[in-house]
Amino acid sequence: MDKETPADGSDGERARLDKWLWAARFFKTRALARDAVDNGRVRVNAARVKPARALRVGDVVDIRIGELTWRITVRDLSDRRGPAPWARELYDEDPASREARERRIEAERLAREPAHALHGRPTKRDRRMIHRFME
């Protein structure tokens, strides 16, 4: 196989944005990727785009999923979904983006409230303490 022809069968120059996001494992399905692009949660080179936009190597893609954001640079193109280690080779994440995302995840982990504060229901431990108090 030629060095210039990718093994994944793509033309090597362009890939649909929604297919690439799915192949890079940012979204579980192409439909979810398409919806995210349509709703403006994915931007290419700081511009709002459509799902069929031709993505090229070197494009900067900003992805927002819930409260988390990624700023990545496209390193390779593919329209096939593979294992996660292979998918991570399709892009390079900006170090500042990775650091901010990891800080956000850590802050959420540390700031979790007890279940009864969120749902108004006592936890199993709370229920046992109530029963001990009532006896």
Instruction: Among 12-21, 75-84, 101-110, name the most confident range.
Output: 75-84
pLDDT tens profile 13-47: 789 999 999 999 999 999 999 999 999 999 999 99
pLDDT tens profile 106-115: 988 887 666 5
Q: What sign does the dihedral 38-45-97-76 (CA atoms) show?
A: positive
For the chain, give the mean pLDDT: 86
Q: Residue 59: which of 14, 25, 99 has the closest Cα?
A: 14
Instruction: Give the DSSP per-residue string, 83-108.
Output: -HHHHGGGEEE-HHHHHHHHHHHHHH
Helix (H) / strand (E) element for 34: namely: helix 30-38
Instruction: Please name each of the domains of the chain with its CATH number.
Output: 1-93 (3.10.290.10), 95-135 (no CATH)
Task: Count the Cβ atoms, other than its own, within 10 Å of residue 86.
Answer: 16
For residue 129 the two structure tokens come to 């303490």
Q: In the structure, what pLDDT confidence band is assigned to residue 4 with cuts at 50, 70 and 90?
A: very low
CA distance 90 to 19: 12
The per-residue pLDDT for 3 is 39
CA distance 34 to 53: 11
